[in-house]
Structures are given as structure tokens and as C-alpha cells.
Amino acid sequence: MHGAKAVVHFHLLARADDVRLRLYGPALVALREQDLGPRPGGWNQATLALGGLAPQAYYLVTRVLQGPDDRRSRAFTVFLLP
């Protein structure tokens, strides 16, 4: 799956100092992490590179840092199809 990408849309209630996306494999091992930097409140989008990954289910977690607060989303399933 050379060059495969996923567009991720997420909503923030307020401006974030830093947003990170982390992709986990089926064994819940972190495979990729992408630092998106500061993001405004409201709807945002980012492109996550998936090249080199086998077709299967993966899990995506969004991490948001705001001052001393560090929040993580629930895991979302990403299906990479052949």
C-alpha cells in the first residue's frame, strides 16, 4: 500500500497547544505518531500517511494538549483495504 493516506477530521472545543495522532496495530503496539502542532477550536483535518502498512484494521487515537491538560480520544478503527 505504497502512498496510502487517510484524511482525519476532528473537532476541538477550544484551541489546542498541540495535537498528535497515534496509530496502533492489531496487537495495540504504536506504529506511527504524527505531531500536528497547535490547532484552532472547531473542525480540523489532517492527512495521515499509511504507506507500507498491511491491509487490516488499525486503531487511531487523538491526543490533545492544552496547557497542563493532556487528553486522549477513544480509539477509532481505521480499515485499510487492499
* pLDDT by 10s per residue, the chain, length 82: 567 788 999 999 999 999 999 999 999 999 999 999 999 999 999 999 888 999 999 999 999 999 999 999 999 998 988 8
CA neighbor of 16 nearest in space, from 74, 82, 70: 70
How many residues are given for the chain? Answer: 82
**Phi, psi dihedral angles at 2 (to 5 degrees):** -65, 130
